[in-house]
Structure 1
């Protein structure tokens, strides 16, 4: 296992032989041959009286990284986080020669966490870096995209499927809850992507309120696929099988009150009266968010959301 976090010029930490062996065996066991950050951006280790390691590079911090805990990325702005995440994904895409290779990231978080924005910005940045660093394309040839976003929204149940449920009114009111999605279909899609290297997937038309079939094509040229959605890290039923497919599992950590304020603004912007929007949050969005937040324990990486409005 190769995880590069320190500069080789850092002083050696005082450790007993048993502590050194424990560190060697247990540090980031799931991140085999994947660097949390590029070697050129080496981080300096600090140790406080609790034994907690903290690394700092400019405004970026990876906090509370104890041996069995999940690393947390926190920055002064989201743009820096987008760059850091993209910079670590590009070498992964470049290192593989297998034409069917896919590095699949599961990006989870509650409503209003900024999943869609983060996934889109990171994928765009990966493609920009790939075009800059790939030696096999000259300035006259457009470099192909190697990163793509696959939203979970396309796997909503159709409205006619909600209409056919025992309590259609309740089904529509709770749309967005786990049982209003089709996780079996999502699992089949990701399994086919893993096995075959390409797949057609549905998107979601918010104006119509239903999925759009075969609207997203993940091709062989895509090496990094960011799957974003609410319930990707749930440890139950089919969701558990979905989670097992991901090479990395990211969770966006956001204060629930802040996320609900964002969702309220979103509801109002789509034409819902403020009282209806508040009712929907209390009846559906907040319970969903509380469930999703519990699944953060299954993540490999926690990303602290930064409110651009301050």
Structure 2
């Protein structure tokens, strides 16, 4: 994963530099999507940690402030879901899609005009519900990574999100491997008592949700292979497989 982090960090630095040379405010907004279990959340936070920890004595700019906003904070509350919604939690209809779009619109405006700090919800896995205003996007943050399953969907209203981002990134991962990873995760989290139950849960919800993304997403700016951690971008030959 470190190889992808370094490559994506270089890309972020170039994007910031391009903005600083122009008239736009130097903030970039990226949508990062992938099927459940692909490693997108881990990648987003590793990239943010790397960017925030850059040292000037390494010859690299040190003023980067990167914030990760997970789409999990836009889950509907459990109290808002019926039986089907509870069973299928994680499907498109169990999210506040309008809320995600509204945040993307705020972020778009913030790339060319100074705005106050932006507050958005986080997710408490202990109580399994969102936490209002759990994440702060400070006005001086110049890289915002919006991370989640459905950010590249073509469906309304989700499709609006990709048009508002500076770039769209997709983490690609083998579905069968993701299935095994998800089953183990469900057991470790106490959601399922056996690996077989975890597999059934993945087959019933996680994998169909992931397949829906793959079959109904826009073409991303960047593709990241989560098995080799190679990075490909159609618009930049220097971003070919590393």
The normalised TM-score by structure 2 is 0.83
Question: For each residue in 1:139-185, what CA deviation from the matched residue of structure 2 results, as whole angstroms up to 9, or x when unmatched?
Answer: xxxx65521111111000011111xxxxx221101000011000101
Residue 307 of structure 1: how far off its partner (Å): 7.2
1:124: which partner in 2?
49
The counterpart of 2:87, out of the listed 169, 173, 180, is 173
2:9: which partner in 1?
86
2:28: which partner in 1?
103
Residue 273 of structure 1: how far off its partner (Å): 1.4
The counterpart of 1:290, out of the listed 211, 230, 236, is 211
Greater gyration radius: 1
In structure 1, C-alpha distance between the alignment counterparts of 2:227 and 2:200, rounded to whole Å: 26
CA 1:99–1:220: 2 relative to 1, 3 Å: farther
In structure 1, C-alpha distance between the alignment counterparts of 2:24 and 2:65, rounded to whole Å: 12
**Is 1:233 equivalent to 2:152 in the alignment?**
yes
Q: Aligned Cα RMSD in Å?
A: 2.1
Question: For each residue in 1:263-304, what CA deviation from the matched residue of structure 2 results, as whole angstroms up to 9, or x when unmatched?
Answer: 111100011112432221121111111111224552111110
Q: Is the Cα–Cα contact under 8 Å of residues 87 and 126 in structure 1 kept in the other structure?
A: no
The counterpart of 2:184, out of the listed 242, 252, 265, is 265
Residue 92 of structure 1: how far off its partner (Å): 2.4
Once the two structures are superposed, the pairs formed by residues 57-206 of structure 1 within 5 Å of their partners are: 78-97=1-20, 100-129=25-54, 131=56, 132-133=58-59, 145-162=64-81, 168-196=82-110, 197=115, 198-206=117-125
Greater mean deviation of Cα atoms: 193-202 or 265-274: 193-202
Q: Is the Cα–Cα contact under 8 Å of residues 90 and 129 in structure 1 kept in the other structure?
A: no
Once the two structures are superposed, the pairs formed by residues 13-28 of structure 1 within 5 Å of their partners are: none
Q: Which of 1 and 2 has higher RCO (CA within 8 Å, sep 6+)?
A: 2
2:198: which partner in 1?
277
In structure 2, C-alpha distance between the alignment counterparts of 1:129 and 1:112, rounded to whole Å: 28
Q: Is the Cα–Cα contact under 8 Å of residues 123 and 147 in structure 1 kept in the other structure?
A: yes
The normalised TM-score by structure 1 is 0.66
In structure 1, C-alpha distance between the alignment counterparts of 2:215 and 2:59, rounded to whole Å: 39
2:172: which partner in 1?
253
Residue 189 of structure 1: how far off its partner (Å): 1.5
In structure 1, C-alpha distance between the alignment counterparts of 2:218 and 2:100, rounded to whole Å: 22
In structure 2, C-alpha distance between the alignment counterparts of 1:147 and 1:171, rounded to whole Å: 33
Which runs of no fewer than 5 residues in structure 1 stay unpaired?
1-77, 136-142, 163-167
